[in-house]
Structure 1
Amino acid sequence: MVALCAACHKPLVVELVHEEDDDDMEMEGSSSAKTVPDDCQLTCGDHFHWQCLLDAYTVHECPNCSSELLTTSPSGVQQLLCTLNNEGGLQEDLDILPLLTEEAYLKTYPHERKCRAFLEFCREGDLQAIIGMIQDDDDEEEEEDVMEDEAGNKAEVDILRYQDPLGDMQSALHAAVTAGSREVAWLLLLLASNLDLQQFPAEVFQEAETLGIMRDDQTGKADIRSLRDSQGRSAEQIATEMGGVWTGWPGTGRLAI
């Protein structure tokens, strides 16, 4: 018997739609569909589409049979293992607990989704994606900077100063330092700190001017250098531990105040 998704009871595949070239579209239609696997099998034996699992998951139990899913790794860390078969191939004993935990958190605090995406780009050192988000954020209407969670509580969105409650309260500057990206660190310092502008390399200003992003009035805003993670560490302390590209930065005031 072919397994179906325990949530929607449909085959465990998903269609990928690819746009054809303009000439082909005129002759053969506007798109073509390709079917790929989309199967997340939990340790209890139930199968889900990945999105169906994200939509249904609320606690550490199977949304279908209520079996306990958490196990403990050899190192003593809790994990939630599955067998995932999708476009990327088959992955066995994959720990998806971090992903499910984040998705459950975002169901409660949906206004943080953009902030978390920004922080992930900082962790990856993806300067172009970071700049794109900052530019998009600047283009939005001012009233859109205040959003509501599921309980109707209003919350201001500040992607530059967001601290990750699921990741040791790290800020974007912590993330940039951990990623070893001086380019991202300089950008964050330019936009979210009071660091003396004379400390910035000329190319930082040139790039910012080309992109149309510069420092706003920082009155009443937290200096990103003052943010500490859950262990009380500044970005400078992490840079000191890492060394490498950060050699010469500690003690200059660039990463801590």
Structure 2
Amino acid sequence: MATCKACQEPLTLTLDPADPEIRDGGEEAVMVPDDLELQACGCHFHWQCLLDVAPQVTTSMHCPACDTSLASGHAGSSSSASSGQTILTNYASEDGVQQDYDILSVLREEAYFAQHPEDRSAKALHIMSAEGDVAGIMDVLMTEAEDAEELYQAAPVQRLTTWRDPLNGGQTALHVAIVNRQEDVFWLLLWVATPGVPETAFPAEIARRANSQVILSRMKTVYSGQIDQGGMDVRFVRDDNGRTPGDLCREVGSPFSDFAQSAVFQ
């Protein structure tokens, strides 16, 4: 049986039967493939084992096992081809075999967060913003606030909402929500991170949901004081193309172009 070049273990993954995502619902552990083959050299790794050496791979662009150059100009099935480089793989998992998968963008992201672990919560917020996961966003914001030394400290909320993703064009979570046309997320982020905007400027359901969470109300109040002292206002943070969220609203069209003319952006 083939083994991983990093850990020398079989190229399988044992799934916990207690995991609700396991489809068969049985009581026994489930063994599934976990075989990531680098096309350039034919070396095989577990998915996580290759991610564990992401900083090394993205710096050298060589296989960590045999030192073969991995860079390719051939476009694969994922998105990093626009950078001019790809690392093509074949990946066998519980979902089947994916050919020509470009793993470079995944490795670059993993390498970045290995060096900047403090940004993982902000990235999670961006992913939830793209997916429209309002409940998840509220959980992240409240967890950050509760983990802070002072509940009334605005810094965690401000850091999360104004963080610009260096791997996604310098966008904030609000930019991401607009691009993905997630209206509920759009209004929730503005509710939390815009000082001095009256509740009447927001949809009634968003105001009701936010007001039902005491911590969110507290964070909004304190964030206002932070902005008054020179902190960043999420409405005016620009991405790498110089666009504020309001600019992006006008680009994506209705209904966001209408939102850009509302009292929230005045």
Please tell me the TM-score bracket, short chain as reference: 0.7 to 0.9
The equivalent residue for 2:101 is 94
Q: Separation in 1 of the partners of 2:207 and 2:52?
A: 44
Structure 2 portions without partners, runs of 5+: 20-26, 76-80
1:83 corresponds to 2:93? no
The equivalent residue for 1:25 is none
Q: Separation in 1 of the partners of 2:158 and 2:47?
A: 28
1:52 corresponds to 2:57? no
Q: Separation in 1 of the partners of 2:62 and 2:239?
A: 31
1:161 corresponds to 2:162? yes
Q: Tell me how far 1:126 sits from its aligned partner.
A: 1.6
The equivalent residue for 2:65 is 64
Q: Separation in 1 of the partners of 2:94 and 2:244?
A: 40
1:140 corresponds to 2:150? no
**What residue identity is the alignment partner of 2:8?**
H
Q: Secondary structure of the residue that 2:15 maps to in structure 1?
A: strand
Q: Separation in 2 of the partners of 1:143 and 1:210?
A: 21
Relative to its length, the structure with more helix (as a share) is 2
The equivalent residue for 2:28 is 32
Instruction: State how 1:218-229 maps to structure 2 within 5 Å.
Output: 218-219=224-225, 220=229, 221-229=231-239
1:41 corresponds to 2:37? yes
Cα 1:66–1:16, aligned 2, differ >3 Å: closer, same or farther? same
The one-character-per-residue Cα deviations of 1:139-169 (angstroms, maximum 9, x if unpaired) are 214289xxxxxxxxxx998212211011111
The equivalent residue for 2:136 is 129
1:111 touches 1:157 (CA, 8 Å); kept in 2?
A: no
Q: Tell me how far 1:225 sits from its aligned partner.
A: 0.3
Structure 1 portions without partners, runs of 5+: 21-30, 145-154
Cα 1:180–1:157, aligned 2, differ >3 Å: closer, same or farther? closer
1:176 touches 1:182 (CA, 8 Å); kept in 2?
A: yes
Q: CA RMSD in A?
A: 2.4
The equivalent residue for 1:203 is 205
The one-character-per-residue Cα deviations of 1:40-99 (angstroms, maximum 9, x if unpaired) are 000110000011101123231111011111111457632111001111211000111111
Q: Secondary structure of the residue that 1:18 maps to in structure 2?
A: coil
The equivalent residue for 1:193 is 194
Q: What is the total number of aligned residue pairs between the two structures?
A: 236
The one-character-per-residue Cα deviations of 1:154-207 (angstroms, maximum 9, x if unpaired) are x99821221101111101110111110111111111111125213122322211
- TM normalised by structure 1 equals 0.84
Cα 1:12–1:142, aligned 2, differ >3 Å: closer, same or farther? same
Among all aligned residue pairs of Structure 1 and Structure 2, give the percentage whose two residues are the same amino acid. Answer: 33
Relative to its length, the structure with more strand (as a share) is 1
Cα 1:19–1:252, aligned 2, differ >3 Å: closer, same or farther? closer
